[in-house]
Every structure is written in structure tokens, then in C-alpha cells.
Amino acid sequence: MHDARALIEMGAEAVRRLARRGYSLDLSELESLQSRRNQNIRSADELRAESKRVASEVQQTAKQGGDISKLKERAREIKEQVRDIEAGQEEIEAQLRDLLLSIPNLPDDSAPDGDSEEFAIEIRRVGTPPAFPFEPKDHVDLGEATGILDFGRATKLSGPRFAVSRGAGAALERALATLFLDIHTRRHGYTEYAVPYLVTRKTMTGTGQLPKFEEDLFKTGVADRELFLIPTAEVPLTNLYADEVIPPAELPLAFTAHTPCFRSEAGSYGRDTRGLIRQHQFAKVEMVKIVDPETADAELEEMVGHAEACLKELGLAYRVIKLPAGDTGFSAQLTYDIEVWIPSQNTYREISSVSNFGTFQARRANIRTRGEGGKPKLVATLNGSGLPVGRTLAALLEQCQQQDGSIVLPESLFPYLGFRRISADGTPEA
């Protein structure tokens, strides 16, 4: 969310920057709403001041035995005028808020121009994609052949875009999540949280999922409460400090959580319908940071490294790209995507997005710290996947497959699994 005054002061610069991400800012509409809001506030203040004067005159005239009927009539008129202005003010405030909530974050100037991944800048490649002396299978065929994944029964239970894992597959999912949590908490200093999976409309609005992306969410309720299933742990983790002022000495704050994520994937039908890449429910380990805005750029680079550490630990080949302004998420000002190599597709696919939101989410959620002289100021927020379990499992099965149909697992997972190999029939082998 933006400060209306700041956007108006930026003027053409705000229009230019938002145009880079395909958003057309109607500056005249914003200026009109802000002007009407300010005029109403002034008018109401003037009438309240007059009301005080009239009230004083009523008392003085009554003491002197004078006629106060006209003064009382004026007092009633003022009261009605203030009530009318306040009603109009509520409507203007709602219109202004709705407009501001619909305006995406200003993209960082370092983000390249363009509106799709083809305009992204590749930052680095790590690891060498495996070369197979055979035609590599995709993770669906591998999972079903070994019996560790069952998409047919998942469809029977819930319909398409769900998965069931069993045996070594279920153990592997649990091991991956625990490995990622250990990396973030023991090496990188994140505090692990267990958070609710159902949150309020206000909480969803704080991180920018609402109102724009309501069709992508699953909505439910408890008694008379409207609740939404979280699309990512970013939502509850970031909002932990909503409406609070964080002492500067406590910054930066770093959180992580392993949660299920629920997404309707509205508008994405026909894309990635096979396997674990795009599902309605999936597990993910998330990283969130709340920091001083002055350190946010450095924190972003560090957080990218934290996500990469998970892939390095597994020995998976991947690359890092910087997204163009037009392909950056609604709330983000700058995003790095980490893409893992998927042999069956002969390409890199996104496995983590790490973003700096600047003060955008903090303004929506009212998360502040204190600056010079103890004056409250907005914090900056960042988040990134570290990592999604399903997509990691898909990449792991495909990059580690053997010609006989078995899967040789990274040594780093042995302490969590107790086995190093999944045979072609799904049997765990030490």
C-alpha cells in the first residue's frame, strides 16, 4: 500500500515506474480523492470550531436572559452539517483506500524492463545439470513406478492437482522439510514458528493477497468469522507484528515455518497439470525478515544465499535470475527467482522467489520501528521460499535417477532418512 501524498508528490515519476510493470496510475483520480478528503477534514474542523463558539454564546446569552432560540437552531444546523460531512468522508476514505490497495508496489530501478521471464537477467548458474546415458523419466513416472507417489488415489480423494506420497516418498518429504528448517535455524539464525493455517481478511490484506487475488484463495469460516487458508507462511509470519512498533535493537527479525500452502491456481489451468509443479495443496518452508529499510537491499542478497544453501546441500543444479519489472509480484519491488534443473523438461524451473517488499507490506499491516529521535517509521519486509517440498522432491527424483529406475539420494539426507537409496520397487536401502 502507498502513501497517497507520496505518490502525488512523485507525480510523473510514480506513473513512469508503475508503467514499467504494466500498471497505469490515474494520478488525477488520486489527486481528486485526496483533495476532497482534505477539504472535508478542513470543513468539518471549521464547523466543530464554530459549534464550540455557538455553545459558548448560548451559555453567555442564557445567563444574560437573552433569546437563545436562533443560537440553538444554528447549533442544530452545524450538527447536521458535520454529520453529513462525516458520512461523505467515510465514503471518500473508502474510495481512496480501495484505490491505494489496488496499486502495486513501485518496482526497483535495478529490475530490468520487460513483462516476462525472457527479459530476466541471469545472475549465476551453480552445478552442472546431470547428463544421462538414457532417456530420463519425469518425476511422475519415477514416483509411480517406485510406488512412492500416487496421483490416481489423490485424484480420487480430492480431484486433480493433489498428490499422495507413501513409504520412502513420505519419509523423503518429511526429511526435506526438516533439513531446510535445520539449515535456516542452525546456520542462518532464523526463529522457527508454528503458525495458524487459517487467517483473517485483515491479515491477508496486510501482505497484499487481498483484495486483488481473492479468486486465488480458498475461503472458509468458523461460526461468524470469515477465514482464508494461507497460500504461503509469508502471510502469518509477516503479520505477527501487525499494528506494533518494534524496538530498533530487535531488528532484524528472521522467521521460518513449515506449513501447507493452499492455492486455487485460478487462471492457470492447462499449465503444469502433471505432477508436483503446480498443485492446490503443497508443503513449503518459508523465510521472512523484518528489517530496517536501510539494510533491506543487503538482507535480500543474503536471503537469496539462504535459499541457495538448501539446493547446494542437496547437490542440485540451479540458476539465479533477476525478474523484470513487469514480471515482479504485486507487493514486491525486486525479486530474484531461483530455478532448479528439471531433466525431463530440459530446462530450469522456478523453485524459489526471494523478494524485497520495501515498506509496502509494512504500511498495509502497520508494522513500524523507531528512527531518529524515537519517531515511529515503517520497517521493510522480505520473504522467500526456502524451499517448497514438492518441487524439490520432483527435482531430486529427476536429477538423482539411475538407469535401473532407482534413486540415489544426497548424503546430506541420510541423517534424516536412515537410507541412501530408493530401489526401483520403492524399497529404502541403506
Report the catalytic residues.
Answer: 263, 278, 350, 353, 391
**How far is the CA of 382 from the CAs of 48, 191, 238, 306, 365, in angstroms?**
44, 15, 9, 13, 14
Distance CA(23)–CA(115), nearest Å, equals 11
Distance CA(58)–CA(2), nearest Å, equals 45
291 three-state secondary structure: strand
Q: 277: exposed, middle or buried (C-beta count within 10 Å: 0-12, 13-18, 19+)?
A: buried
Distance CA(233)–CA(333), nearest Å, equals 20
Q: DSSP letter for 343, please.
A: G
Q: Is 234 annotated as a binding residue?
A: yes
Distance CA(44)–CA(92), nearest Å, equals 14
Distance CA(136)–CA(144), nearest Å, equals 15
Q: Is 263 annotated as a binding residue?
A: yes
Q: Is 286 annotated as a binding residue?
A: yes
For residue 181 the three cell numbers come to 528448517
Q: Is the Cα torsion angle 412, 415, 417, 421 positive or negative in sign?
A: positive
Q: Is 385 annotated as a binding residue?
A: yes
Q: Is 383 annotated as a binding residue?
A: yes
Distance CA(207)–CA(148), nearest Å, equals 36
Q: Is 69 annotated as a binding residue?
A: no
Q: Is 43 annotated as a binding residue?
A: no
Distance CA(402)–CA(133), nearest Å, equals 10
Distance CA(430)–CA(422), nearest Å, equals 9
Q: Is 264 annotated as a binding residue?
A: yes
- HSE, CB side, 13 Å, CA atoms: give it for residue 158: 12
Known binding residues for ATP: 263-265, 350-353
- Report the binding-site residues for L-serine: 232-234, 263, 286, 383, 385
Give the annotated binding-site residues: 232-234, 263-265, 286, 350-353, 383, 385
